[in-house]
Amino acid sequence: MNNWNDCGSAMISLHQIRIATYRGYRHEFVEWLVAEKLIGLWDNQVAFPVCDQSGVVVGCHLRTSTDWKYQWFTVGEHVVTPLVIGSTAVAKWAFIFESQWDAFAVMAAYGWDTDPKRYADGCVIITRGAENGKLVAGLLPQNCTAYAWKQNDAPRENGRPAAADKWLADIQQNAGCEIRLVITPPEHKDPNDWIRAGATVDDLEKALDSLVTLPPVQKLTRSRVMAEPDWAELGLVVEDEIQQTPFPTEALPESLAAIVRAAARINRVPEGLAALLALGAVSASIGSTLVARLYQDKTTRANLYLLGALPSGEGKSTTADVMLRPFMDRDIAQREEWKLNRWPIAKAKHACIKMAIEQLQAEATSKKLSPAESQQLVAQLADKERELEQCSTDMVEPRLIVEDITTEALVLELSRNNETMALLSSDGGDVVANILGRYRRNTVDDSLFVKAWSGDPVSVNRMGRPSITLRSPCLTTVLLVQLDKLARFFAKKQLIDGGYLPRFLMTRLVNVPSVVSVDMVALDPGVAKAYRATIDDLVTTFRLSSELVVAQSTRAAQQVVVDYHNEIVAKRKVELKDVSGFAARWHEQACRIALILHAAKHGAKAGEEIQEDTVRSAVEIMRWFANEQLAILNAYRDQSRRNLLKEIWIFAQTHAQGFTLRELARAKFTGDTQMAKSILDQMMAKDVMKEEPVKTAGRSTVSYKAVHPGAMALI
């Protein structure tokens, strides 16, 4: 054998079965490795391709009875390169492994062989041993996120770092991008061993969720780091707490106010939780066919994104059952009616059309047709195919509600249901996981949700099937989550910068424990009936209708919106400057709330003019949500500020000889050099950082170093 093709051909089924059995891989995955020429045999030893810088296979890496060695197919000088699967040049993420067996085990677990295009935006890098971590240098773009799957090597007897620790340090120093350490449980020596022991994709996902982010660093000569200062004591973190207030239930129409008070009392929860759910239920009941003109002749829809965070066991689910039940019952009733009446007819019609198509096809093959007859037959077949497509659509069960759903499935459901849907979940953990990239290698998946709030067009290409285009999708979202899920949302900067989280009205509720008695507190039947009637009326008149209704508004009502908008503009220039992306949508949110209050009050007659008092009530409710939003943002702003200061402090320790402003900005802690300079100036003002001039061949620059009078702490 003198080339890699011969190596691949030598890998017969018996060898493949042995590898699959010993390594715990699926046999189909090993077949895929062979077909992709990622594994072969050299001199009856398992081998892996080695490429030159241009991607041409020039040798192989194989295991002998005693050690690993390289066999070269060409003469001349050779350079060892990593085994790379995918394109590193455009990778948004990368999995980095020391061993090909670990890499293949993870790839097999994720089903890489069944849908490789799903992972086209990432790549896998195998360094061929712990001593080759430096080989990642220059491979990945700066905006890539690399996941290092380190092995659990035991410490060396001579006290030197374990081989895997040196490998990880080399990765940090040479990758040139953000590194995230994926931790294999300590009882397993490596990812392959862990997966052979029974680890599932869910276990791998949990490891990815709990990973540790490591900044790119220079090589350290000492492991002594100055103790971190008390940032709050220095005044670099301001621990202001925004006072939360009770929800203004009196601003709701009576049918909503009564059920909110009753549900809150029965379930012993804050009225803010019940009110959030009531607004969501009415929003979902309206859909996209009722809009309002309240601001500069723009039309406003009623769909809201609502997020409520509450500790576990505090009444989220029971309150949601009361407030969302009338809308959920309409969803169930519609689906049952379809199963009983429309589906059998559509199914029978579908069968008849298929028979007609088969007859036309038989006619086409049974005799020779003239050009005119052939053209006529093609036209008839096309008509029948169109009828079949329409009939196939009628055979799809209609839905008003989805819950745990992927983006791809949501696009499909929107296309089948007049581009309108409600995403309702009283335990939104799975929804959060999906948006955070559960099925997309932890890549945030919020584009559809951003567009479905605003009604922007969406086009999705599907492999082997027609693309789906949504002209103006309308999604109402109601998520109730535990506090840790809220933290995960705010930990993803992309969700803020991309506009997803700023579209939410949100609250983090604190429920004070209350005593109960043996006397049962029941929901007033009259209150429940009035609320259900409101929801039913809106669903029938608007949600299930295709006719657009535009509610106009009085000039006085419009003036309230204008005044509120201008008030926010003034604040966005000063105290709301760092949360401007959230505040910029408050006036539009107020308009949406106004339409919901108007519809809840007038029902089927919601096409009537919107009055000033309704808009004032909406602004009052929006002020409450704005305060709640700021209370949440303030907590995460403080934590984010602490984390940022800590990262800069550690960065300064790992660059003990000093670092430039540009080097700090490249580490991607601060976003840009302007923000980096601002933070460093603040740290210097508190005497925890200093600057020194640096002489260079060109223009002079400044180097920064950490200074702190506190004690030294060993790490």
319 pLDDT band, cuts 50/70/90, is: very high
Calculate mean pLDDT across residues 145-156: 86
Among 640, 644, 650, residue whose Cα is nearest residue 216: 650
Report the pLDDT value the prediction gives residue 605, as an integer from 0 to 100: 95
Instruction: With cut-offs at 50, 70 and 90, classify the pLDDT of residue 695.
Output: low
Answer yes or no: are the C-beta atoms of 200 and 109 closer than 8 Å.
yes
Q: Which residues of 178-204 are buried (b: 16+ CB within 10 A; e: fewer)?
A: bbbbbebeeebebbbbbbbeebeeeeb
User: Mean per-residue pLDDT for 602-608?
Assistant: 94
Q: Which residues pair with 420 in a beta bridge?
A: 474
For residue 461, what pLDDT is reported?
67
CA distance 548 to 291: 8
The predicted structure's pLDDT at residue 244: 75
Q: Which of 13-27, 161-175, 268-282, 313-327 has the highest mean pLDDT?
A: 268-282
Burial classification of residue 522, based on how many CB atoms lie within 10 Å of its CB (0-12 exposed, 13-18 middle, 19 or more buried): exposed
Q: Output 379 or 542, whichever has higher pLDDT.
A: 542
The CATH number of 255-338+399-635 is 3.40.50
Residue 538, pLDDT > 90, answer yes
249 band by pLDDT with thresholds 50, 70 and 90: very high
% of the chain residues with pLDDT over 70: 88
Least confident of 36-40, 578-582, 597-601: 578-582
pLDDT of res. 379: 86
Distance CA 67, CA 65 (A): 6
The Cα 432–Cα 715 span in angstroms is 35
Per-residue pLDDT tens over the stretch 320-356: 999 999 999 999 999 999 899 888 888 888 889 888 8
Distance CA 102, CA 195 (A): 9
Mean pLDDT, residues 687-714? 68
**Average pLDDT score over residue span 121-139:** 92
Q: What is the pLDDT of residue 311?
A: 85
| CB burial of residue 251 (10 Å; 0-12, 13-18, 19+) | buried
What lies within 8 Å, CB to CB, of 89 at 6+ separation is 141
**pLDDT score recorded for residue 516:** 65
Give 575-597 pLDDT, tens digit per residue. 787 788 899 999 999 999 999 99
pLDDT at 194 over 60: yes
Confidence band, pLDDT 50/70/90 cuts, at residue 63? confident
CA distance 646 to 656: 15
**What pLDDT, on a 0 to 100 scale, did the predictor assign at position 632?**
86
Answer whether residue 712 shows pLDDT above 80.
no
Residues 289/244, Cβ–Cβ less than 8 Å: no
pLDDT of residue 573: 81
Which of the two residues, 407 and 320, has the higher pLDDT score?
320
Per-domain residue ranges of the chain: 4-221, 255-338+399-635, 339-394, 655-714
Residues in the chain: 715
Instruction: Flag whether pLDDT at 221 surpasses 50.
Output: no
Compute the average pLDDT of residues 299-321: 91
Confidence band, pLDDT 50/70/90 cuts, at residue 157: low
Find residue 45's DSSP bridge partners: 42
Q: Which of 570, 551, 545 minimizes the C-alpha distance to 608?
A: 551
Q: Do residues 273 and 308 lie in contact, with contact meaning Cβ atoms separated by under 8 Å?
A: yes
Q: Which two tokens stand for residue 492?
A: 């993803």
User: 486: which 2 tokens?
Assistant: 């809220």
Rounded-to-10 torsion of CA 16, 19, 23, 29: -20
pLDDT at 220: 41
Q: Which of 460-464, 509-513, 610-614 has the highest mean pLDDT?
A: 610-614
User: What is the pTM assigned to this prediction?
Assistant: 0.62
CA angle 254, 256, 259 (to 5 degrees): 105
Domain 655-714 has CATH 3.30.70: no
Domain 4-221, classified CATH 3.40.630.10, yes or no? no
Name the token pair of 316. Answer: 């989220």
More confident site: 57 or 668: 57
Q: What is the mean pLDDT of residues 30-51?
A: 90
The whole-angstrom separation of Cα 368 and Cα 379 is 17
Q: pLDDT at residue 441 above 60?
A: no
- Give the tens place of pLDDT for each residue, 625-682: 999 999 888 877 777 777 788 888 888 877 777 888 877 776 666 656 677 788 888 8
Express each pLDDT in 460-485 by its tens digit.
765 456 778 999 999 999 999 888 77
- Identify residue 653 by its one-letter amino acid code: Q
Say if residue 415's pLDDT is above 60: yes
Are 136 and 148 in contact by the 8 Å Cβ rule? The answer is no
pLDDT for residue 165 is more than 70? yes
Chain segment 200-217, per-residue pLDDT in tens: 888 888 888 766 666 555
pLDDT value of residue 45: 87
Look up residue 650 and give its two tokens. 């550690």
* CA–CA distance, 203 with 194 (Å, rounded to integer): 10
Residue type for position 71: Q
User: What pLDDT sits at residue 230?
Assistant: 83
The strand pair at 401-402 and 68-72 is best described as unpaired
d(CA 466, CA 459): 11
Average pLDDT, the chain: 85
More reliable by pLDDT, 519 or 93 = 93
10-30 pLDDT, tens per residue?
Answer: 777 777 888 888 888 998 999
User: pLDDT tens digits, residue range 82-91?
Assistant: 999 998 888 8
Label residue 711 by pLDDT band (50, 70, 90).
Answer: very low
Q: Taking residues 259-281, what's their average pLDDT? A: 95
**What percent of the chain clears pLDDT 90, i.e. is strictly above it?**
40
Query: 603 near 537, Cβ under 8 Å?
Result: yes
CB burial readout 654-682, b (16+ within 10 A) else e: bbbebbbbebbbebebbeeeeebbebbee
Cα separation, 105 vs 621, whole angstroms: 53
Does the pLDDT at position 486 exceed 60? yes
Measured in whole angstroms, the distance separating CA 511 from the mean position of its chain's CA atoms is 29
User: pLDDT grade, residue 366 (50/70/90)?
Assistant: confident
